[in-house]
Amino acid sequence: MTEADRELMQRYIYQVVRRLAKDQREETARELEELITDMAEQKGMEEALKGLGDPAVFAGKYREEPCWVIGPEYSEDYRWLLKIVLAAVALSVIVSGVVQGVLQRDGTGILTDVVSSAVMGAVSAVGAVTILFMILEKRKIRVDFKKEFGTSEKAGVERRNWIPMLLPPVPDSKAVIKRSDEAVNLIFEALLAGLMIFAPWLFGAYVFENGTFVRTIPIINLAQWNTILPVLLISLAAGFADDVVRLVCGRYCRTVLIVCLVSGAVQAVFAWIMLKALPFFNPDFIGEIRTEYDWKGTDGDLLTLYGTGRLENIVLLVIWACILIEMGVTVYKTVRYGKEQ
């Protein structure tokens, strides 16, 4: 077997096993290598791989899992992401309901609110994730998918235009994106979005008298919340989309780079709108803090910047710095390790 044939075989094996559960990958890779080697000795490597067919469909045979709405190459990521989003939505609803119940010490109407919020959040999550993956699959958002596949007639049917020479190379290990990192980001974003939608009043200072909760002094301007919330959700959605694309692609590539740059630009612009063009912070927060806690403020205390416009500038600069760092890392790793052949 020539070096070129061996590389082509490894490309095919990689495209199959990366779609399987981790506990299947090593054994499946060994079996495939033996199978392909035997077939290649009889009719050549390219013909052997043509005989096995589309690696995404071939991986589906190992999984033996039916796929209907989402095709086999996306179904595993779809189910995994849906579980994460649903868990985050459920957690945000439960947290807001429990905190509201504990603080208000009045269960009237809370259970109804929690159930209705959970149902609405779950339906929205399923719909959003499903539509997102349908778009990703239709547009072949994964760069390696664009190279690997032609046009299919329906999910699960082998693509007629697929040929072994279009298999993308096995990516550099430094170009691989850790799915666990993206899972944490998605959970945080979904949780934050849920809390902002269902219980924005949780963000603030809590006033107690004799161990009994009295009220919350919100740090967010709830009087303008109907205007602020859509801007915040658009910014979170941009970050959410970026993390989904990273999860789906699984490595640094041109698609991840483009989405990262667009998402970062959207987040930067909407952060400016939220903090500078809109009254994001509650203008009465410091006054109420002074009244309730007899707070005088000291030099160097961050809260002394509240209401001066400098706090908004600091928060905005921190957000922009984080966005630029993320962009820089993505550009570097894509150029350095994610080059496509």
From CA 253, how far away is CA 279, in angstroms rounded? Answer: 38
User: Residues 17-63: pLDDT tens digits?
Assistant: 887 877 788 888 988 899 889 888 888 888 888 888 888 778 777 76
What's the confidence (pLDDT) of residue 301?
A: 64
Rounded to an integer, the average pLDDT of 72-83 is: 71
Task: Choose among 2, 4, 203: nearest CA to 99.
Answer: 203
Please state, for a pLDDT cut of 90, what percent of the chain lies above it.
11
Lowest-confidence region among 190-199, 227-236, 289-298: 289-298
Please state, for a pLDDT cut of 70, what percent of the chain lies above it.
69
What's the confidence (pLDDT) of residue 95?
A: 65
What is the amino acid identity at position 176? V
Question: Greater confidence, 195 or 312?
Answer: 312
What's the confidence (pLDDT) of residue 152?
A: 38
From CA 98, how far away is CA 160, in angstroms rounded? Answer: 54
User: Residues 85-128: pLDDT tens digits?
Assistant: 777 777 666 666 665 565 554 545 555 665 666 666 667 667 77
Instruction: Report CA Rg, the chain.
Output: 25
Question: Greater confidence, 254 or 21?
Answer: 254
Lowest-confidence region among 77-81, 154-158, 320-324: 154-158
What's the confidence (pLDDT) of residue 2?
A: 84
User: Residues 123-166: pLDDT tens digits?
Assistant: 766 777 777 677 666 655 543 333 333 333 343 444 445 667 65
From CA 85, how far away is CA 186, in angstroms rounded? Answer: 7
Question: Greater confidence, 274 or 92?
Answer: 274
User: Residues 208-227: pLDDT tens digits?
Assistant: 888 777 788 888 898 888 89
Length of the chain: 341
Cβ partners under 8 Å of residue 232, min gap 6: 196, 270, 274
Say yes or no to pLDDT of 309 above 60: yes
